[in-house]
Amino acid sequence: MCSHDSVFGATIQAMEILRVGDVGVEVAAAKAALVLKSDGLVVYPTDTLYGLGAAMDSSEAVAKLHAIKSRSEEKFLSFIVPDVSMIERYAHMNETSRTLATSFLPGPLTLKLEAKDSVPASVAHDGAIRIRIPDDTFALALARAYGAPFSATSANISGEPTPSTIEGIVAQFGERISDIDLLVDDGPRAGGTPSTIISCVGEKLEIIREGALSKEALGL
């Protein structure tokens, strides 16, 4: 357990920081998965910066996530899964979305898909869900260890820049950091361009956000 106090300008309750370099990827991922299964929040490394994870099927954790980020519950959350077969457990895929998934995932692509009944209504805005499979060793290990979707939102207060280090995240959240159960530290993250978001809901394919994968790279 690590505690941070007035060094960040506020008294912050003890919280747990787990360093991947000390315990290894699989041990850290297993511990983070247990926190998700217990309705907790986890800060974890991704292929760009740090993410804030909450179990998709935990209304308690999702509500806490929105509160700690000062984030509107009306905004879409994206969710991480380990493979395409799990995407199909939670979303309806057509030939186009399946081709995109098998061609570009794992990678910087987020698919907006029609949600199945297994997706809680609270996160299935307009009956749709956003899912991605990041090309990152730890995020994939966590996805396999947890075995269900968890949120891929950035570890920052809504509207603020996302820090590239755990220390920066602790400083930005201040006293709110005590509401996060586990922070997995894998050193400074490189940042980079966010994922491209494509809607495959209905008949018309639509690029919602052109990110790391260009329209040309996607062959669209």
Give 44-102 pLDDT, tens digit per residue: 999 999 999 999 999 999 999 999 999 998 889 999 999 999 999 999 999 999 999 99
Q: Is residue 9 scored above 50 in pLDDT?
A: no
Confidence of residue 30 (pLDDT cuts 50, 70, 90): very high
Q: Is residue 33 scored above 60 in pLDDT?
A: yes
What CATH homologous superfamily does 6-209 map to? DHBP synthase (3.90.870.10)
Neighbours of 145 (CB within 10 A): 20
Percentage of the chain beyond pLDDT 90 is: 83
| Domain segments of the chain as ranges | 6-209
Q: Is residue 7 scored above 60 in pLDDT?
A: no
Q: Is residue 173 scored above 60 in pLDDT?
A: yes
Number of C-alpha atoms within 13 angstroms, CB side, residue 140?
11
Mean pLDDT, range 176-203, rounded to an integer: 93
Residue 199: predicted pLDDT: 96
Mean pLDDT, range 7-19, rounded to an integer: 61
Residue 2: predicted pLDDT: 46
Q: Is 50:44 a contact under the CB 8 Å cutoff?
A: yes
Residue 83: predicted pLDDT: 97
Residue 14: predicted pLDDT: 54
Number of C-alpha atoms within 13 angstroms, CB side, residue 199?
13
Backbone angles phi, psi at 6, to 5 degrees: -65, -5
Residue 11: predicted pLDDT: 35
Mean pLDDT, range 107-115, rounded to an integer: 96
Rg (CA), the chain: 17
- Strands (E) across the chain are located at 16-19, 42-45, 50-53, 78-80, 91-92, 109-115, 128-132, 150-151, 153-154, 182-185, 196-199, 206-209
pLDDT in tens, 127-146: 999 999 999 999 999 999 99
CA torsion sign for 31, 32, 33, 34 is positive
Mean of all residue pLDDT scores within the chain: 91
Q: Which residues contact 34 (CB under 8 A, 6 or more apart)?
A: none
The structure's pTM equals: 0.91
